[in-house]
A and B are shown apart, each in its own frame.
Chain A
Amino acid sequence: MLARRIIPCLDVRDGKVVKGVKFRNHEIIGDIVPLAEKYAEMGADELVFYDITASSDQRVVDKSWVSRIAEKIDIPFCVAGGIKTVEQARIILEMGADKISINSPALTTPELVTELNKRFGQQCVVVGIDSFFNKETNQYEVYQFTGDESRTQKTNWTTFDWIKKVQELGAGEIVLNCMNQDGVRQGYDIEQLKLAREVCKVPLIASGGAGAIEHFTDVFKQADVDGALAASVFHKNVIEMETLKNVLKTEGVEIRPC
């Protein structure tokens, strides 16, 4: 049986792993390669490296760390942040990344998703979506440039319309980051993810809000997501990977043992 995936996310800024709360106040967690190795050995199913500065300050940062990670780890990993062209994606994939994830550039240039699909195949193309629940309009809204508070802006897309659109464009996987929940460890946004699941026919990865083991159980059982992404609970050792996977297995969630 296909296992549900546990995916630690390492936010990268200037070659270091950082973590902020609600996308703000980033603190340094550690160096990329040793952390990547640690997570792979602990039993992570996949890793995401998210260069949080790249997309918002209009530069392409040095990505040489991608090949240093590929040399060391034997599980798949995805690189996100600042990939705006097919050529930039090619370089990252050649350095050994298994997938590339695009977020803001997909909103600015939707045809990029299709071009990436044609060149590298659907399986490489992940679209990240930053979604914010607007209590006033009662709508889930897609945001752009969330790596930089000063440039973060709302788009005209509602989340579920954008999920449908990126699948038409050729996305092979969707990471739905529920911004209201991010970094506060109060649980995944089950309600939103359930709604997303209804319109998402490709693998769906939950992001934002993991704080306890039961949050993972809930998101797999209730929202039927394919993977759950989390950062701070792993960086700060709030949750131990082996314990998490044992509990999930006991709860009847298909999981790859550590």
Chain B
Amino acid sequence: MSIVIIDTACANLSSLKFCIERLGYDVLVTADAAKIKAAKKVFLPGVGAAGAAMQIINERKIPEVVRELTQPVLGICLGMQLMTEHSAEGDVDCIGLIPGEINPIDAPEHVRIPHMGWNTLSTIPEHPLFEGITKDDYFYFVHSLCAAPSQFTLATCDYGQTFSASIAKDNFMGVQFHPERSGKSGAKIIKNFLEMKA
């Protein structure tokens, strides 16, 4: 089974790659359209600012390739945000795989932004991606913007406001937290994704 991490030139490529390898899988980091299309599972990673990231992936013609994919695709952190239609960060149009938009976390004055650190989930879905995950599992979050809850929300998290910790539509899934940096709980999410039936 071929597993691909789309080379978005973002900084967390290595940690995601190492995480998948620790689970015993081989993984390829590439921006090559044919290799991405041929993969059984595809990761869309990202950290940084949405505007800059969209510019990079547009130059690499990644949105066109990703929109055509029918196999499971998992967006991580900024990668999840790029799956939506629009981000307020840089006022930029995103790939548009999952309806919704990304806006700054609506938090009262005393709530520190970025939301940085380990947090639990407030709602957990009956979904293969979250199999075995409970409200006692902590995940590592680092972000200042978020997707509000919608019909495409899988899991939620509370920080200042309730937001989507995970969203999905058809074969496209995204998580706001970093499973590759979330210890055993995060590894379980990655494993669930890799073992998920297409």
Name A's B-contacting residues (CB within 8 A).
1-5, 40, 45, 67, 70-72, 74-76, 90, 93-96, 98, 118-124, 172-173, 201-204, 226-227, 256-257
Contacts and interface: CB of A to CB of B under 8 A. Distances in A.
A201 B112 contact: yes
A201 B114 CA distance: 9
Contact of A67 (B14, B49, B187): B14
Interface in B149-198: 158-159, 178, 180-184, 186-187
A226 B12 contact: no
A46 B39 CA distance: 33
> What 9 A-B pairs come out closest when comparing CB atoms?
A96-B14, A93-B11, A121-B48, A123-B142, A256-B138, A3-B118, A256-B118, A96-B15, A76-B181
B144 interface: yes
Nearest to A89: B11
A68 to B, nearest CB: 10
A258 to B, nearest CB: 10
Interface in B81-117: 112-117
Contact of B114 (A72, A123, A257): A123
Contact of A2 (B49, B118, B183): B118
Contacts of A75: 140, 181-183
Contacts of B12: 96, 98
A39 to B, nearest CB: 12
B69 interface: no
B118 A45 contact: yes
Contacts of A45: 117-118
B119 A94 contact: no
B47 A94 contact: no
B22 A74 contact: yes
B74 interface: no
7 contacts: A2-B118, A71-B18, A76-B140, A98-B178, A119-B48, A124-B11, A172-B114
B13 A94 contact: yes
B49 A118 contact: yes
A95 B117 CA distance: 21
Nearest to A126: B116
B133 interface: no
Interface in B3-59: 11-15, 18-19, 21-22, 47-49, 52
A54 B113 CA distance: 30
